[in-house]
Amino acid sequence: MLEPMSLWKPDPTFYPTPRDAAAAPAEKLAYVAAFDRSASRPDAIAVLDTDPDSPAYGTVVGWTDLPFVGDELHHFGWNACSSALCPNAPHPHVERRYLIVPGLRSSRIYVLDTKDVVSPQVVKVIEGEELAKRAGYSRPHTVHCGPEGLYVSALGGANGEDGPGGIALLDHTTFEVLGQWEHDRGSQYLAYDFWWHINHDVLVTSEWGTPSMVEDGVVGELLLGRKYGHRLHFWDLRKRRHVQEVDLGDQYQMPLELRPAHDPTKTYGFVGVVTSVEDLSASIWVWHKDGKQWAVRKVVDIPAEPAPAEKLPPILQPFGAVPPLVTDIDLSVDDSTLYVSCWGTGELKRFDVTDPFNPVETGSLRIGGIVGRAEHPAAPGVPLAGGPQMVEVSRDGRRVYVSNSLYGSWDDQFYPDGVGAWLAKIDSDPAGGTFSFDERFFPNGDDFRGLRPHQTRLQGGDASSDSYCFP
């Protein structure tokens, strides 16, 4: 079923340094997780043609229905990446070939083979029971290929327990669940995203909420009670031990996506905070080394936008404003540019982060939004629901892909008249120039067959898929 993977030369999509990766050729395909909110039809991986010279450019050219329903696909990752070149345990003759695709609601994990096909094929299904039995977790989320296997973060506990969430390890080659990663989790209970500073043996995790806190929508009392996550955790990647907790302050609810610098000599990274309960603003923070300790600093504040109550969904009417809701950020491979999705206000911001402590905004685009409903130039006159959400950047930093769905039950709260389905591509000049929608690239509506698009992964790797051991 799973073929042995061994090449004579390193997989051509593995790059020793971020600089090499930034010189990679443009991706020809993009894989998009799409889910059925009603859980009556299978979720799917949709495949988009991203080759501008192809007649099918900008359209859905591949589609793989999953064998079950109700998975709620969300994030996913590759079986192998550039870290296979790392000198401590090199194995660069494996192939970047399989997509590891967790179902956030079902706790199933699918393995899809992308080799020599447009529509990937499901080659393995790991049932939620196996994840629960072997690792004690449920609701798998982020996937990264790493030194001990595939690391998969999970929001929930198992066997009737709501938490703690954490990280499960999967075998590199068989994809069997090996067990729970943590040897000592210290004060950590909530889980969401994770990544690492691989050359420093440091792993970082962020906090969202347990399944009971998120699966039926955001719970107002919990949010105003500051019960969602507001901390980062730093770990010893080698000893699997919790080293330090850094609290952003409990008004800063939900630090989600973690984007460490790709340069392996650096020890800083960015995290986006969904909202502050004091003024509904969103914020971007930098974590960094301060002496021997880890510290955080807020470097961007994005204020809420006032709006008349009648234009707001019930959940926001008491506040009279639209929160930006920063739900995803992405850092270019050369660490120069940070893209920030404001899913509430329908804005995608671009920052020059060459100096990470002093980001400079170099671009802004509007699309969708709770009140704005901004159009896409390819579909004038059509107000759009949803906003820029999952954002993925090509390795060369010139193309940015955004999809519009956040998470089923949360979509329904913030866009109660329907979130729709669209995915936009933006041309971006890394030097700070062009920042505009590609009018030839706007799959939307029925293109996604009634499903909602979430994370995009680019063929050969992207800005949030690979880590590098050489500067």
Partner 1 sequence: MTLTAVLLLGAFHGLNPAMGWLFAVARGLQERSRDRLLQSLPVIAAGHLGSVALVALVVGATGSLITGRALPIVAGVVLVGFGLWRLLSSRHFRWVGMNLSLPQLAAWSFLMSSAHGAGLMLLPVFTAAHTGHAGHAMSGGLGVAALHTLAMFVVAGVIAVIVYEVAGVTILRRAWFNLDRMWAVALVAAGVFTLVQT
Chain residues in the site for partner 1 (CB under 8 A): 4-10, 12, 14-17, 20, 85-94, 147-148, 172-173, 198-201, 237-238, 264-265, 469-471
The DSSP letter of residue 410 is H
Shortest gap between Cβ of 11 and partner 1 (angstroms)? 9
Shortest gap between Cβ of 198 and partner 1 (angstroms)? 6
Phi, psi of 59 (to 5 degrees): -120, 165
The CA distance from 108 to 154, in Å, is: 11
The CA distance from 323 to 279, in Å, is: 9
Phi, psi of 166 (to 5 degrees): -175, -145
The DSSP letter of residue 327 is E
The CA distance from 459 to 118, in Å, is: 11
Cβ-contact 394, 27 below 8 angstroms: yes
Cβ-contact 135, 141 below 8 angstroms: no
Closer of 79 and 464 to partner 1 (Cβ): 79
Closer of 20 and 65 to partner 1 (Cβ): 20
What is the strand order of the sheet 121-126 is part of? 77-78, 98-102, 109-113, 121-126
Helices (H), 48-201: 128-135
Closer of 1 and 89 to partner 1 (Cβ): 89
Shortest gap between Cβ of 82 and partner 1 (angstroms)? 10
Shortest gap between Cβ of 85 and partner 1 (angstroms)? 6
The tokens describing 218, both together, are 């955001």
Q: Which amino acid does the sequence have at 293? A: Q
Shortest gap between Cβ of 191 and partner 1 (angstroms)? 20
The CA distance from 40 to 68, in Å, is: 9
Shortest gap between Cβ of 23 and partner 1 (angstroms)? 9
Closer of 198 and 365 to partner 1 (Cβ): 198
Closer of 17 and 403 to partner 1 (Cβ): 17
Closer of 81 and 85 to partner 1 (Cβ): 85
What is the strand order of the sheet 423-428 is part of? 391-393, 399-403, 423-428, 435-437
Shortest gap between Cβ of 364 and partner 1 (angstroms)? 36
Shortest gap between Cβ of 335 and partner 1 (angstroms)? 16
Closer of 178 and 222 to partner 1 (Cβ): 178
Closer of 9 and 292 to partner 1 (Cβ): 9
Closer of 17 and 142 to partner 1 (Cβ): 17
Shortest gap between Cβ of 9 and partner 1 (angstroms)? 6
Closer of 84 and 132 to partner 1 (Cβ): 84
The CA distance from 71 to 84, in Å, is: 30
Which of 333, 326, 322 lies closest to 465, judged by CA? Answer: 333
The DSSP letter of residue 309 is G
What is the strand order of the sheet 149-157 is part of? 137-146, 149-157, 166-170, 177-180
For 117, residues 6+ apart whose C-beta sits below 8 A from its C-beta are: 62
Cβ-contact 342, 351 below 8 angstroms: no
Shortest gap between Cβ of 339 and partner 1 (angstroms)? 27
The CA distance from 261 to 333, in Å, is: 8
